[in-house]
Structure 1
């Protein structure tokens, strides 16, 4: 399947670390299994992996947005 975001490459099932940036801070989510695009780094995941990513991103946003 071609990447639905960039359309440049075929998606490949793989397990990789995924990074997410929020307000200049980065969280790395280890071992995300899904269909990864080698051209734009988009990743399509199943529910369990998506939940893992959402949990990590929510934790990062709480840390970044916490009152100083």
Structure 2
């Protein structure tokens, strides 16, 4: 369960991104983690994996909101 460990480590990290490139990198990283977790979830149907994906998606949405800017 290497992917789950990576996802949990990403979730525990501080999410302070000073530059746009850091935001883009973290957005891509969390997107790939979510997609990998989704593949695992399709096979196992574990609700804990779904909860983890939801939490990561919330983090991703915050990052992307900051990337797109606020009107």
Task: Output the TM-score relative to the length of structure 2.
Answer: 0.39
Whose relative contact order is higher, 1 or 2, with alpha carbons under 8 Å and at least 6 apart? 2
If each structure's strand is expressed as a fraction of its own residues, which one has the higher value? Answer: 1
If each structure's helix is expressed as a fraction of its own residues, which one has the higher value? Answer: 2
State the structure with more CA Rg.
1
